[in-house]
Structure 1
Amino acid sequence: MSLQQKIDRITDILRRDDGISGAMHYTEQTSWVLFLKFLDDYESEKEDEAVLSGKAYQPVLDDEHRWSNWACPKNAEGKLDINKVRTGDDLTDYVNNELFPYLKSFANAAITGSDPKSFAYKIGAIFQYLDNKVASGHTLREVLDIIDTLNFQSSDEMFELSLVYEGLLQNMGDAGGYAGEFYTPRPVVRAMIKAIDPQAGQTIYDAAAGSCGFLVEAFDHLKAKKSALSTEQWDFIQRDTFFGFEKTSLAYVMGMMNMILHGIESPNLFRGNTLTQNIRDIQEKDRYDIILANPPFGGKEKSQIQQNFPIQSNATELLFLQHFMKTLKSGGKAAIVVPEGVLFQTNSAFKQVKQELLENFNLHTILSLPAGVFLPYSGVKTNVLFFERNGGTSDVWYYECEPEQKLTKNKPITDDHLKEFVELYTSRETTERSWIVSASKLAEDYDLSAKNPAKQKDAEHLAPSDILKQIRTKEKLVSGLLDEIENLLAEK
């Protein structure tokens, strides 16, 4: 049975449980069980490495709360020890009243003495917002037995797990109507990252992290170059590269697990509303080299939150854009997904933000995405703004992604749709799909929406008499059609 089949089997089992209602619940519950099995394999691998290197390793979890002791204890033959294994009420009582309180305690650094950057603290941060919702201990027993067959010390199985987990997150978002919150289409994310091309030693930030798809894909981008990296560079990637904020507790938990399950040992993800931070207080030490994000749009923020921004607006997308501009380091690069409205609206707040973007940042590229990219969550047309903090904008290179077929839920955007954009990004070549507009032209009205000149046809100016002739010709056609309809009705 493949890993995907095992996860599908677990989903079917959990659907029968009285405590589970919908995709959000079974994904959340599958996640914490998967994570604890991963953690046990991780600890075992670290212990084996320590023995080989002659160094000591102190496990994060004590023996009593290790997977191999409570979840699936084995006998001398390596089979499930029926004398020690818990099930039914005994299992749920242990999980709810002993295991979860123990795991939650790791988030209290004052008690545990753990470093907020440590793996132990990250475990506590995850379980702080989690509870066991599986009502039946017998159901949980079935789930534990299936997950116990997985081996997360295998690089192939870890890679497969990362793909399966991405699918779980996407399904959860689709079912709950939160696809935008939990899941940005990976072809879009990958195209943004390939264009920006993060390097070892740079800090990477997402202030609306969701399930951390941008941070995970950026990690995979850096991981592909691991053989050329020093130990110090790899340690920096593991502990000091990835930063993010997430407002909702469920997305925060999913994001933290997603990063750890992909191999980021110490993600710097924090729970909180980014927009409560007064951007006037942000200094250079608080800034990042790379910003990648798809912030929530269409939301409204109270006047109290708006006070944190020089240009006040209740549109969340405009507030996030100001936040990203302020948190980008000198020389830094950003790629931000925004709705079409940010580009074409020219009322006071939108105009002011775009004026600052053009004058104080190098907004060198706008990727116009097709409608339907975020279906079924949203049909809103979106764009990606690419800008750097290295002086003002001289001109903007536009690229219009236009698939031959209309995008739908079952025909989503693919890497191939964005392949040409990635290839042309550096050269800024002009084609039928790409063109350049001067900043001075855009500053005339601050409408930044994509207007492909290859599609602009010169208006045909007709004489008034010719226009009247066209109108009369169309009237005759309409009159003839109406007569035909009247005749058909009379025949009935």
Structure 2
Amino acid sequence: MSLQQKIDRITDILRRDDGISGAMHYTEQTSWMLFLKFLDDYESEKEDEAELSGKSYQPVLDDEHRWVNWACPKTADGKLDLARARTGDDLTDYVNNQLFPYLKSFANAAATGADPKSFTYKIGAIFQYLDNKVASGHTLREVLDIIDTLNFQSSDEMFELSLVYEGLLQSMGDAGGYAGEFYTPRPVVRAMIKAIDPQAGQTIYDAAAGSCGFLVEAFEHLKSKKSELTTEQWNFIQRDTFFGFEKTSLAYVMGMMNLILHGIESPNLFRGNTLTQNIRDIQEKDRYDIILANPPFGGKEKDQIQQNFPIKANATELLFLQHFMKTLKTGGKAAIVVPEGVLFQTNSAFKQVKQELLENLNLHTILSLPAGVFLPYSGVKTNVLFFERSGGTSDVWYYECEPEQKLTKNKPITDDHLKEFVELYSSRATTDRSWTVAASKLTEDYDLSAKNPAKQKDAEHLAPSDILKQIRTKEKLVSGLLDEIEDLLAEK
């Protein structure tokens, strides 16, 4: 049975459980079991490494609550020890009343100053927001037995599992109804990262992390250059590169799992509402080299939150944009997904934020995405703003992505749709789909909408007498058609 088949089998088993309702539940429940199996394999590997080097290793979980002892205990010949393996009510009673209270207790350690990079902290952060929803202990036993066959010490299996987990997250997002902020299509994410081209030693930040797609893809981008990296650079990537905040508890758990399953041992992901931070307090030490994000839009924030921003606005997209502008390091690069309204709206708050962006940062590129990128959960047209903290804006290069066929749920955006954009990004060449506009023209009304000059037709200016002649001609045609219709009706 392939790994994909195993995960599909788990999904089918969970679907029939009375406690599970929909993709969000079975992804969440699969996740906590995957995490505990991963942790057990990780700790076993660390124990082996310590033994070989003559050192000792203290596991994070005590013996009773380690996977190998409660989930799938083995006999001497490596088979499931049926005498010790719980099932039915015994299993659910143990998981609900012993295992989860134990795992939730790690939240106290996290709250009292445990190292945020440690697994102690991460266990507390994850399980304080989770509960076992699998109602049947027999269902739980079936799932545990399948997950126990996964090998997290195999780099090939870890890679395959990371891809399978991405599929689970996407199906969860589609079912959740808020996937526009939870799951950004990976071709869009990859195009943004290829254009920005993060380097080892840089910090990478997403203040609305969702399932952490941006951070995961940035890690994959850096990992592709692993052969060129020093041990020190690789350790920095593992522990000090990726930072993020996520407001919702479920997305936070999924995001943390996604990062860990992709091989980032110590992601700096925190749960919290980014917008509660007063951006006036942000200093250079709090800033990041690279910012990649698709923040939630269309939401409204109360006045108390708006007080944290120099330009008050209840639209979340404007608040997040101000946050990103403030948290970008000198010389740093950002790529942010925004709804079309940010570009064309020119009321007071929108105009002020765009004025700040054009005057104090270099908004050098706007990628106009086609309608339907976020279908089926949102039809809002979006754009990607690329800007740097390197002085003000002189020119803006636009690229209009226009697939030959209309995007739908079953015909989503692909890497090929954005291939030309990535190729042209550095040269900023002018083509039928790309053009450059001087910032001085944009500051006349602060409408930053993509208006492709290749599509603009010169207006035909007619004399008033000619316009009247055209109107009379059309009136005669309409009158004649009405007469024909009356004759046909009279014949009946």
Q: TM-score range by the shorter chain?
A: over 0.9
Distance 1:383 1:199 in 2: 24
1:300-337 per-position Cα deviation (integer Å, ceiling 9, x unaligned):
11111111111111111001000100111111111000
Per-residue deviation at 1:491? 5.8
Please report the TM-score for the alignment, with normalisation by the length of structure 1: 0.97
Q: Deviations over 1:371-429 (max 9, x none)?
A: 10011111111100000011001101111111100011110000000011111111111
Instruction: Determine helix, strand or coil for the equivalent of 1:412.
Output: coil
Whole-Å Cα distance in 1 between the matches of residues 128 and 259 of structure 2? 17
Q: In 2 relative to 1, CA 457–113 (structure 1 residues): closer, same or farther, beyond 3 Å? A: closer
Q: C-alpha distance in 2, partners of 1:22/1:78?
A: 35
Q: Cα gap change, 1:110/1:262 in structure 2, threshold over 3 Å: closer, same or farther?
A: closer
How far is 1:40 from its partner? 1.6
Instruction: Give the whole-Å Cα distance in 2 for the aligned partners of 1:20 and 1:491.
Output: 67
* 1:465 shift after superposition: 2.5
Q: CA deviation at 1:167?
A: 1.0
Alignment of 1:45-84 (within 5 A): 45-84=45-84
Contact 1:106 1:114 in 2 (8 A): no
Match of 1:144 in 2: 144
* Structure 1, 450-459 or 73-82: larger mean CA deviation: 73-82
Q: Structure 2 vs 1, CA of residues 361 and 491 (structure 1 numbering), >3 Å: closer, same or farther?
A: same
- How far the C-alpha of 1:489 sits from its partner, in A, is 5.1
Cα separation, partners in 2 of 1:112 and 1:98, compared to 1, 3 Å = farther
User: Secondary structure of 2:105's partner?
Assistant: helix
Q: Tell me: CA distance 1:37–1:481, structure 2 relative to 1, closer, same or farther (3 Å).
A: farther
Once the two structures are aligned, what percentage of the paired residues are identical?
93
Moved more, 333-342 or 114-123: 114-123
Aligned counterparts of 2:278 and 2:112: Cα–Cα separation in 1: 32
Alpha carbons 1:109, 1:115 under 8 Å: kept: no
For 1:476 and 1:295, locate their aligned partners in 2 and report how far apart those are by CA, in whole Å.
55
Is the Cα contact below 8 Å between 1:179 and 1:376 reproduced in 2?
A: no
SS of match in other structure, 2:256:
helix
Distance 1:44 1:480, change over 3 A: farther
SS of match in other structure, 1:93: helix
Matches of 1:486 and 1:347, distance apart in 2: 51
Deviation at 1:466, TM superposition (A): 2.3
- C-alpha change, 1:479 and 1:168, in structure 2 (3 Å) is farther
- Once residues 361 and 387 of structure 1 are traced to their aligned partners in structure 2, the CA distance between those partners, rounded to angstroms, is 7
- On the 8 A contact 2:177/2:377 being kept in 1, the answer is yes
Confirm or deny: 8 A CA contact 1:291 1:335 kept in the other structure: yes
Contact 2:42–2:153 under 8 Å retained in 1: yes
Cα 1:489–1:260, aligned 2, differ >3 Å: closer, same or farther? Answer: farther
CA shift for structure 1 position 346: 0.7
Q: Give 5+ residue unaligned stretches, structure 1.
A: none
* 1:483 shift after superposition: 4.5
Moved more, 125-134 or 47-56: 47-56
CA gap of 1:436–1:56, structure 2 versus 1, over 3 A, is: same
> Using the alignment, how far apart are the partners of 1:10 and 1:324 within structure 2?
40
Residues 348/56 of structure 1: CA separation in 2 closer, same or farther (3 Å cut): same
**How far off is 1:20 after superposition?**
1.0
Contact 1:203 1:290 in 2 (8 A): yes
Distance in structure 2 (CA, Å) of the matches to 1:108 and 1:208 = 25
SS in 1 for 2:403: coil
**CA shift at 1:481, angstroms?**
4.2
Residues 487 and 57 of structure 1, relative CA distance in 2, 3 Å threshold: farther
CA distance in 2, matches of 1:479, 1:50: 94
Cα offsets for 1:99-131 (capped at 9, x unmatched): 112222223227987422212211221111000
Q: 1:110 to 1:419 in 2, by over 3 A?
A: closer
Contact 1:361/1:389, CA 8 A, preserved across alignment: yes
Change (3 A) 1:62 1:437: same
Cα shift at 1:486? 4.6
**Residues 468 and 14 of structure 1: CA distance in aligned 2, closer, same or farther (over 3 Å):** same
Q: What is the CA distance between 1:65 and its match in structure 2?
A: 1.3
The alpha carbon displacement at 1:365 in A equals: 0.5
8 Å Cα contact 1:292/1:336 also seen in 2: yes
Higher alpha-carbon deviation: 146-155 or 450-459? 146-155
Query: 1:487 offset after TM fit, Å?
Result: 5.2
Indicate if the aligned counterparts of 1:106 and 1:112 stay in contact, CA closer than 8 A.
no
Equivalents in 2 of 1:460, 1:110: separation in Å? 69
Q: Distance in 2 between matches of 1:347 and 1:491?
A: 59
Q: Which shifted more, 60-69 or 110-119?
A: 110-119
Query: What runs of 5+ residues in structure 2 fail to find an aligned partner?
Result: none
CA contact (8 A) 2:24 2:176 kept: yes
Q: CA deviation at 1:490?
A: 5.3
- CA 1:351 to 1:54, structure 2 compared with 1: closer, same or farther past 3 Å? same
Q: Secondary structure at the match of 1:108?
A: helix
Query: 2:332 & 2:365 partners in 1: Cα distance?
Result: 15
CA distance in 2, matches of 1:133, 1:479: 71
String of CA shifts for 1:236-263, please: whole Å, max 9, x gaps.
Answer: 1111111111111111111111111111
Q: Quick one: structure 1 residues 482 and 152, their matched pair in 2 at CA, closer, same or farther if it must change by over 3 Å? A: farther
**Whole-Å separation in 1 of the counterparts to 2:489 and 2:374:** 46
Q: Distance in 2 between matches of 1:311 and 1:235?
A: 39
1: CA distance, partners of 2:110 / 2:382: 45
Cα distance, 1:46 vs structure 2: 2.2
Query: CA, structure 1 residues 98+346, in 2 after alignment: closer, same or farther (shift >3 Å)?
Result: same
| Cα distance in structure 2, aligned partners of 1:110 and 1:77 | 39
Residue 4 of structure 1 deviates from its aligned partner by 1.6
Note closer, same or farther for the CA distance 1:157–1:468 as it changes in structure 2 (3 Å cut).
same
Residue 477 of structure 2 corresponds to 477
User: Using a 3 Å threshold, how does the CA distance of structure 1 residues 134 and 110 change in structure 2: closer, same or farther?
Assistant: closer
d(CA) in 2 for partners of 1:168, 1:477: 60
SS of structure 2 residue aligned to 1:173:
helix
Distance 1:110 1:65 in 2: 19
Contact 1:109/1:116, CA 8 A, preserved across alignment? no
Say what the alpha-carbon RMSD is for the aligned residues.
1.6
1:116/1:477 Cα in 2 relative to 1: closer, same or farther (>3 Å)? same
Is contact 2:110–2:124 with CA below 8 Å preserved after alignment? no
Q: Do the aligned partners of 2:368 and 2:399 also contact (CA within 8 Å) in 1?
A: yes
The answer on whether the counterparts of 2:109 and 2:124 sit within 8 Å (CA) in structure 1 is no
Give the number of aligned pairs: 492
Distance change in 2, residues 1:78/1:416 (3 Å): same
Sort the Cα spacing of 1:461 and 1:30 in 2 relative to 1 into closer, same or farther, 3 A.
same
Q: Given that residues 110 and 116 in structure 2 are in contact (C-alpha distance below 8 angstroms), is that contact kept between their aligned partners in structure 1?
A: no
Please give the per-residue CA displacement for 1:442-484, whole angstroms capped at 9, x wherever unaligned: 1111111101111111001112232223223333443444455
SS in 1 for 2:332: strand
SS in 1 for 2:146: helix
Structure 2: how far apart are the matches of 1:105 and 1:112?
12
Shift of the 462–26 alpha-carbon distance from structure 1 to 2, 3 Å rule, reads same
